[in-house]
Chains A and B, each alone.
Chain A
Amino acid sequence: MTTYIIRRLLWLLPILLMVNLLTFTLFFVVNSPDDMARAQLGNKHVTDAAIAAWKAARGYDLPLLWNSEASGWSMLSQTIFWQKSVQLMLFDFGVSDAGRAIGADLAQRAWPSLWLALPSFVLGLLVNIALALLLVMFRGQWLDKLGLVITVIIMSISGLFFIIGGQYVMAKLWHWFPISGYEPDGDLWRFLLLPIVLGVIAGVGAGVRWYRSILLEEADKDFARTARAKGMSQWQVMRKHVLPNGMLPILTGVVAVLPLLFMGSLIMESFFGIPGLGSYTIDAINSQDFAIVRAMVYLGAVLYVFGLILTDIAYAWADPRVRLGDD
C-alpha cells in the first residue's frame, strides 16, 4: 500500500510539473511581462519607464530562463522561471501583482469557501441520494416518471437563474435571508443558508439522475432480485443490498471532488459577497492579476491530484477485492 502510494505520487508529480510549465508558457512566453504591464497601466499613453518600473517592482524584469549577466548559481536562480514557477512549485505563492501576499490571502480565504462549499456538498449529496433512492424504489411507476421529468427540467435551467431568482425572491422580496455578505463570527449561518439551499436546488437535477442510474444498476443485479423473491420488502432490499453496493462508486466519486471544495465556488461566492477563494479568483480574473491566477491554477492542480490519490485509497479500502501495489 505504501509503496503503491509512493509510486502513484511519482506518477502524479510530472503532472504538477507540466501544469506549472504550461502556466509559465502561457503567462510569460506567449504573453510577455511587457504586455501584462501595458494591460495593467492602460494600453495607451504609457511610457517605457513606467513599464520598466512596474516590471521591476514585481520581479518581472529578469530574463525568462537563463541569466547570462549573473554568475554561478545565480544564472539559474535570478530568472523569472526560478523566481516565479519553481517557487510556486514549492508552495511559495509570492506576491500578487497588486502587492499582497498571496499565501496569506489563501489561508485567510480558504475558510469562508470551505464553510460554504462543505455544507452545500454534504447536504446536496444526502438530498440527491435520498431522492435517487426514492425514485429507484418506485421504479417505473408514476413517481419515478414524475421525478425524471422534474430533474430534466431542473437540469435545463442555468444555475445562474436559481441564484438570481432565489436571491431576489427569498432575500429581497420575502426578507428571509440577508441579500449578501459575510460575518465570520456570530451570525455566520444567516448568511450561508441561502447560498447553501440554492446550491443544493441547482445541483439536484443532475445529481439525482446520476445516483439513480448508479443505484438502478445495482437494483437490477441478481442478489437484489433474489432478495425481493424471498419476500424482503422493497425498503429492506434498498437498505441492505442496493445502497451498500452502490456506495462504492458513490464513495469514490465523492472522494475525488472532496479536495476541490477548497477552491470554493466562483458564482455563489461572488453573488453572495462571501470572501472566499472563488470570489478571489473572479476578482483576479477581472483585474487581470496573473500572479493570483497562476497561484490558483497550481493550487487547483494540487488538489485535483490529491483527489486522484484519495480515490485510489478509497477503492482499496471499500472493496476488499481491490489490492493496491501488486498489479
Chain B
Amino acid sequence: MLVLWSDVVVWLLVLSLVGFGWQLKRDALARERWRLVAQSHTALASSVILLWFVLIALADSIHWRTDDPYRPVVSVLDVALGKMATGQEKSYSAPFAIESLWKETRQTEDGSVIRAPVALKYAGTHLNDASEQATDIVQQSIFWLVVGAGLAAILVMLLARLRLFKDTDIPWRTAALTLVSLSALSAWLWGMGQSYHVLGTGKVGQDVLYETLKGVRTGMLIGGLTTLLTLPFAISLGIAAGYFKGWVDDAVQYTYTTLNAVPGVLLIASAMLLAQLYLAQHAELFASEQERADVRLLLVCLVLGLTGWTGLARILRAESLKLREMEYVKAAKAFGVSDGKIIGRHLLPNVGHLVLIAVVLDFSGLVLAEAVLSYVGIGVDPTMPSWGNMINLARQELNREPVVWWNLFGAFAGMFTLVLSANLLADRIQQVFNPRATRS
C-alpha cells in the first residue's frame, strides 16, 4: 500500500462532500432547494455523470507498489481496466486497428524484404484472420452494450424495490436512463478495451482510452482541491472586510487588488518556476517519479488557490456590507452579541449560497485552466497523465502523416463531458439558489 498525498486529498474531498450532504438532513430549507435542483432533468443527468467521474477518480486514488519495474505503482483503476492498462504497444496505432501505424522492415517467407505495418501485440489477437475483425467488433459491441445496460437496469430495479424513488417530483426516469446509457457505454469501452485499443495508442504505445481515464483524477483534483483551497481565504477575508469595514477593509481590498494586478498566468508561472527549481534541486526527497509528479500536482493546486480567492472574496465583501446593515444584525449588536457570534450565526449562513455557486462555477473553469497551464509548461508534470498534456502532444501529432487525432479526441471527450456536466449543474444551482444574480 502506498498513500500518495493527493490520494489523501481526493478521499478527504469526497468525504467532505458526503458530510455536506449529510448535514442537509437537518436543514429543511436547504433540502427543499436541493430538491428543486434535482427536479431539473439536465441537472440530475449531469449529477449522475459527475458521480461516475468521482468514482473513477476514487478508484484511481488507492495505490500500492508492485515488483514490476515498468509499473512500480498501480491503482485500483489500473487493475480494473485490465489489458487496457497493461497492453503497451511500441508506438502509434489507430482506433480499433490490429496493425500498427508505423512500418517495420522484415523478410517475408519467400525471401523478399518489405516495409509494412506489423500486427499489434494486444489488439485483435483472438482473431484467426483480419477479415473477421468487422464481424467480431459488431458482435462484441452488441454483447457488451447489452451487458452494461442490463446490469444497470437490474440495479435500478433493485433500488426501486427499496422504495428509494418515492419522491415523485424528481425525474427519476431521467436519472435511470442516464445511468443505463452510461453503464452500457462503460461496459462497451471496457469490454472492447480488452481486445482492441478503442482510441488507438499514443506515441510510446500507451492505450489512449486508458490515458484519458487516468486524466479524470488529475482534472477532478485540480478543480476540486483548488476550489477548496480558495475558500478559507475568500470567506474569512471577504466577510471580515465587509463586516468590520475601516482598516480591515482597506487591508483586504489592497491585498486582492495587488494580487489581481499581477497578470494571472505570470504569477502562476513565477511560482511554478520557483517550485520546479526547488523540486529539481531536491530530487532525493522523492522515492519515485510518480511521487514527485504528485507533489507538483498539489503545488499547482496551491498556487492556483492562492491566486484564485479574490473573486469570491470581493463578492462576499459586498454581501457582508449589505448584511451588516440588516436589522437583525443591528439588534444582535445592540444586545451585545460578540462579533464572532454575529458572523457565525447571521453572516455565514446568509452567504452560503454565494459560496456554493462560486465553488461549482470555479470547478469547471479550473479543469479548463489546467490544459492551458500544461501548454505553457507550468502545469502538472509532463509524466503525469492529464488532458492538458495530451492536448500538448496532439499539436505535433496533427502534423504527422497520417494524422494522429485520437489523443486530441480523448482529451476533448473527457474534458468536454466533465466540464459540460459541471456547467449544467452549476447553472441549475445558480438558478435555484440565487435567481437574480448575473453570471460572470
Contacts and interface: CB of A to CB of B under 8 A. Distances in A.
B416 interface: yes
A230 to B, nearest CB: 26
A25 B114 CA distance: 63
Nearest to A260: B263
Nearest to A18: B258
A266 interface: yes
A164 B408 contact: yes
Tier of interface size on chain A: 35 or more
A30 B272 CA distance: 13
Contacts of A297: 262-263, 266-267, 270
A23 B438 contact: no
A66 B267 CA distance: 27
Contacts of A267: 372, 375
B273 A285 contact: yes
Contact of A266 (B254, B376, B423): B376
Nearest to B426: A152
A322 B280 CA distance: 54
A281 interface: yes
B395 A304 contact: no
B377 A285 contact: yes
A293 B269 contact: yes
A290 B439 CA distance: 37
Interface in B225-274: 254, 257-258, 260-263, 265-267, 269-271, 273-274
B424 interface: yes
Nearest to A271: B395
Interface string B409-430: 0001001100110011001000
Given A35-B277, A156-B420, A213 B270 contact: no
Interface string B162-179: 000000000000000000
A264 B427 CA distance: 31
A300 B266 contact: yes
Interface of B is mostly: helix
Contacts of B266: 281, 293, 296-297, 300
A213 B434 CA distance: 13
Contacts of A82: none
B273 A15 contact: no
Interface centre among A159, A209, A301, A305 (most CB of B within 10 A): A301
A35 B281 CA distance: 9
A27 B254 CA distance: 22
B274 A301 contact: no
A160 B371 contact: yes
Contacts of B412: 157, 161
Contact of A156 (B271, B274, B419): B419
Nearest to B405: A168
Interface of B: 254, 257-258, 260-263, 265-267, 269-271, 273-274, 277, 280-281, 364, 368, 371-372, 375-378, 391, 394-395, 398, 408, 412, 415-416, 419-420, 423-424, 427, 438-440
Interface of A: 14-16, 18-19, 22-23, 26-27, 30-31, 35, 39, 43, 152-153, 155-161, 164, 168, 172, 209-210, 213-214, 217, 260, 263, 266-267, 281-282, 285-286, 288, 290, 293, 296-297, 300-301, 304-305, 308
19 contacts: A14-B254, A15-B257, A19-B261, A26-B271, A31-B277, A35-B277, A153-B420, A157-B416, A158-B368, A158-B419, A160-B372, A164-B394, A164-B398, A168-B398, A267-B372, A282-B376, A293-B266, A297-B270, A308-B257
